[in-house]
Amino acid sequence: MPSIVILGAGAMGSGLANALVRAGWEVNLWGTWLDDHLIDAIEAGSPHPRIDVVISGKVTTFRSDDLAKAMDGVDVVALSVASAGVPKVVELALPGISKAQALWMTTKGFLPAEDGTIQLLPAGVRAIAEEAGVELPPIVAIAGPVKANECAADEPTATIFGCKDKDVAVKYAREARSDNYAIEPSDDEVGVEVCAPMKNVYAIMLGIADGLQDKTGHPHHNLKAATFAQAVREMSILSVALGAKEATAYGLPGVGDLEVTGLSGRNKVYGSRIGRGEGAKTALETMKELEQTVEGVPAIPLAVNLVEQTDASLKERMPLLFAAQQIVYEDDPNYADVLAQAVLPPRP
């Protein structure tokens, strides 16, 4: 029976725990110092407070002080904390990670290096390990259209495991598969890791089109669809510029995840508030009051920096990303026009 420790008992870590129990894995779930209330609920057999699904009694839970015990002897370590927690949690977990056969990551985001360079998550984690003189096992980037609640509840779910070593991706895609949790193996780690945070940015823009419908009483489906197409194009442009395969953005981590994120979720909800006219700054404050982290917001300037450091000429081909910056960070009151101009094809 393969074994895993999942680091982070939030929505996704706990959703993955349920999926792996169904696939016959032995699962340890470690909660960070922010997760005691979540571990309390899991241990009590109550629905997980973030996803309203009960976590299997076969999952063994650990609190933050018990990290070494949680990692002892496992085959795989999965990183499922929010991107802000990655440096600290990886640093603490390095001794255990170095003994594992693979490091999986469901976390989505970019990591700025000390010199300000923007790194994709695996590169950032490799840099942390290198600094500490620790050798990492293969990294498996996990993404795709996966809402943690549905995954936890055994609804049909398709995901992608991206690893530079395709054999490793295939091995885990086989071992973690259950009837309703299906995994596409890929060797395009970079493509998976570019799409994952970028779709959060673009989901905000899809939300704006929904909010415009609420505001005006008229559907803005054409605008939303044009936004969707441009978002996918931009994910593909950036992926290819960073050495990924073009097809990845048109598959599960790009189109697939953008669809599910644009249907519901915190980024889309935030965008809808902007679209309704609440103002980007005020809407973000409201989201914070509701304890709703909008991951796409911090991703915008990081993505802009990544584009500029990769190839400044990409800017012209990625107007939607720069429109997101203008709307969210400059709180542009003409957000409807800014969005439309970014996604409508120019006059030929």
Per the annotation, where are the binding residues? 8-13, 108, 148, 266-267
Closest approach of Cβ 326 to ligand NAD, in Å? 24
Q: Which of 3, 17, 84 shows the shortest CA–CA distance to 51?
A: 17
The one segment of 81-89, 94-102, 216-224, 302-310 that binds ligand NAD by CB under 6 A = 81-89
Catalytic, out of 199, 215, 245, 315: 199
Quick one: 13 or 256, whose CB is closer to ligand NAD?
13
User: Which residue number is nearest to ligand NAD in terms of Cβ?
Assistant: 10
Q: In the range 146-185, which residues lie near ligand NAD by CB under 6 A?
A: 146-148
The yes or no reply on residue 76 touching ligand NAD (CB under 6 A) is: no
Using H for helix, E for strand and C for coil, what is the string for 160-184?
Answer: EEECCCHHHHHHHHHHCCCCCEEEE
Binding residues for NAD(+): 8-13, 148, 266
199 is catalytic: yes
Closest approach of Cβ 78 to ligand NAD, in Å? 10
The one segment of 75-83, 175-183, 321-329, 330-338 that binds ligand NAD by CB under 6 A = 75-83
The one segment of 77-85, 131-139, 227-235, 275-283 that binds ligand NAD by CB under 6 A = 77-85
Q: In the range 282-311, which residues lie near ligand NAD by CB under 6 A?
A: 295
- Kindly give, in sequence order, each residue whose CB lies less than 8 Å from that of residue 208, ignoring residues fewer than 6 positions away: 227, 271, 272, 274, 275, 327, 335, 336, 339
The one segment of 5-13, 68-76, 129-137, 296-304 that binds ligand NAD by CB under 6 A = 5-13
- Which DSSP letter does residue 54 get? B
Number of residues that bind ligand NAD (CB under 6 A): 26
- Which segments of the chain are extended strands (E)? 3-7, 26-30, 60-62, 76-79, 102-105, 110-112, 118-120, 139-143, 157-162, 181-186
Over the Cα atoms of the chain, what is R_g? 20
Q: In the range 43-62, which residues lie near ligand NAD by CB under 6 A?
A: 50
Closest approach of Cβ 87 to ligand NAD, in Å? 9
- Per-residue x/- mask for ligand NAD, residues 83 to 112, rule CB under 6 A? xxx--xx----------------xxxx---
The DSSP secondary structure of 265-325, one letter per residue, reads: SHHHHHHHHHHTTS-HHHHHHHHHHTT---THHHHHHHHHHHHHHH-GGGGGG-HHHHHHH
The yes or no reply on residue 82 touching ligand NAD (CB under 6 A) is: yes
Quick one: 89 or 339, whose CB is closer to ligand NAD?
89
Identify whether the C-beta of residue 110 lies closer than 8 Å to the C-beta of residue 83: yes
Binding residues for substrate: 108, 266-267
Quick one: 88 or 288, whose CB is closer to ligand NAD?
88
C-alpha to C-alpha distance for 317 and 80, rounded to whole angstroms = 32
- Per-residue x/- mask for ligand NAD, residues 262 to 281, rule CB under 6 A? --------------------
Identify whether the C-beta of residue 125 lies closer than 8 Å to the C-beta of residue 97: no
Identify whether the C-beta of residue 79 lies closer than 8 Å to the C-beta of residue 142: no
Cα 41–chain centre separation: 24
Closest approach of Cβ 266 to ligand NAD, in Å? 9
Residue with tokens 């795709």: 144
Identify whether the C-beta of residue 48 lies closer than 8 Å to the C-beta of residue 57: no
The yes or no reply on residue 8 touching ligand NAD (CB under 6 A) is: yes
C-alpha to C-alpha distance for 232 and 254, rounded to whole angstroms = 6
Residue with tokens 């407070």: 49
Q: Which residues bind ligand NAD (CB under 6 A)?
A: 8-13, 32, 34-35, 50, 80-85, 88-89, 106-109, 146-148, 295
Residues serving a catalytic function are 199
